[in-house]
Amino acid sequence: AQPGMHSSLPFFFQGKTVIQAEIDAAAELIDFFRFNAKYAVELESSQPLSVPSSTNSMVYRGLEGFVAAVSPFNFTAIGGNLAGTPALMGNVVLWKPSDTALLSSFAVYRILLEAGLPPNVIQFVPADGPVFGDTVTSSEYFCGLNFTGSVPTFKRLWKQVSENLDRYRTFPRLAGECGGKNFHFVHSSADVPSVVNGTLRSAFEYSGQKCSACSRLYAPDSLWPQIKEKLLEEHGKIKVGDPAQDFGTFFSAVIDDKSFARIKKWLQHAKTSPNLSILAGGNCDDTVGYFIEPCIVESKDPKDPIMEEEIFGPVLTVFVYPEKQYKEILQLIDTTSPYGLTGAVFAQDKNVIQEARKLLRNAAGNFYINDKSTGAVVAQQPFGGSRASGTNDKPGSPHYLLRWTSPQAIKETHVPLRDWKYAYML
């Protein structure tokens, strides 16, 4: 059956709409493959200086052992890139796809084989997550982990790796991407239509199951009545349903029962907390699929857990601030959540944009000015965040390839040393 739906349908959208699936499984995966090949060729041509007495070169070796790659359900392209990049750099990869994206991952794996990838360079290993993690990190040949998932799981694996450090032949490389609590900051000089449409798209596309999805909006009291009116008006037009039956659908189900239950708890919190009031949505229904209505919440308290913790679902929380206090709000945004993935500033005032860039320097690995917090394109906005969001290795850029190679510098001398003494001693 299709993840996210109970009935078995002929399509495997992983809860995406047709256009989202095409952007992901075809367009983005192709971008990853083509740009990584380009970066690898450029890296190869990045060579040290040679002088008349010696020729120097750099060989970009694969790591000595295997890389374990744990891919998430939400992007078929991530799975393909995850297996493809290290293989391109000469590594052997153990690829554990998400349980809820097995078929699409297997299709990518088979395409790679069909395209001529030698068998066993990538080993496709559908497995239980924790068992896989424990097994691979205890092998002496373990030399890298590429992980996408939750902070607690990544921390657990990191600890396990340190426990096993004495066994390994080489210091393993650990790369992790662990989500975010992304913000849209709106200044009183902002253009309201771009705030409204940017926020709706960012918070609710793919049912909020993107690590870059906007989940906290900070709006000035002067603009809030306007923003609120338009936000609710446009919210009313969001078509929720089964994208396989109706191609006009914008919004589908979330991936599985676990995800549904987790988000449902947040909806309950929004209904019962005196800090919060629900402005739109708030219902959910799992009779035919794991459907959660796109939900907009207003919080009177900027430190309510709903403003701090990742939800990974279609829940947007708004905090309305006194327009004059925007500097304090920038500080507040920086210090509210442990994450540092994406964020956006909406302002026409150039000075405010400068201030925001400075104050929010460490709050986001992908920072947007007058644009929504989602939609990073390979080779245009290399993606990743620091703090609890991960190791910020920026897949989709040359930086990333460097993580999966162990360069060897070779010097070939043409003038052999004829004496052990320094010249001044002769």
Ligand X SMILES: *[C@@H]1O[C@H](CO)[C@@H](O)[C@H](O)[C@H]1NC(C)=O
Rg (CA), the chain: 24
Part of the chain binding ligand X (CB under 6 A), chosen from 112-120, 143-151, 282-290, 346-354: 143-151
Q: Is 329 in the site for ligand X (CB under 6 A)?
A: no
Q: Annotated catalytic, 177?
A: yes
Of positions 240, 251, 304, 342, contacts ligand X by CB under 6 A = 304
Is 256 near ligand X (CB under 6 A)?
A: no
- Which of 177, 205, 293, 310 is catalytic? The answer is 177
**Quick one: which of 25, 63, 67, 345 contacts ligand X (CB under 6 A)?**
67
* Amino acid identity at 3: P
Rank residues 2 and 81 by Cβ distance to ligand X and give the closer one.
Answer: 81
Instruction: Quote the least distance from Cβ 55 to ligand X, whole Å.
Output: 31
Interaction of residue 105 with ligand X, rule CB under 6 A: no
- Our finding on whether 156 is near ligand X (CB under 6 A) is no
Stretch that binds ligand X, among 66-74, 123-131, 182-190, 356-364 (CB under 6 A): 66-74
Q: Which of 65, 97, 172, 179 binds ligand X (CB under 6 A)?
A: 179
Interface region with ligand X, contact rule CB under 6 A, candidates 45-53, 173-181, 241-249, 348-356: 173-181
Give the per-residue contact string, 71-100, with ligand X (x = CB under 6 A; - = no).
-x-xx--x--xx--xx--------------
**Applying CB under 6 A, does 289 fall inside the site for ligand X?**
no
Contact, 175 vs 304, CB < 8 A? no
- Rule CB under 6 A: say whether 178 interacts with ligand X: yes
Q: Given candidates 56, 135, 139, 197, which one binds ligand X under the rule CB under 6 A?
A: 197
> Which C-beta is closer to ligand X: that of 103 or that of 288?
103
Asked if 146 interacts with ligand X (CB under 6 A), we say yes
* Residues 19-58, mask of contacts with ligand X (x by CB under 6 A): ----------------------------------------
Active site positions, annotated: 177
Q: Which spans of this chain sit near ligand X (rule: CB under 6 A)? A: 67, 69, 72, 74-75, 78, 81-82, 85-86, 146, 148-149, 175, 177-179, 192-193, 196-197, 210-211, 230, 234, 273, 275, 301, 303-305, 395, 404
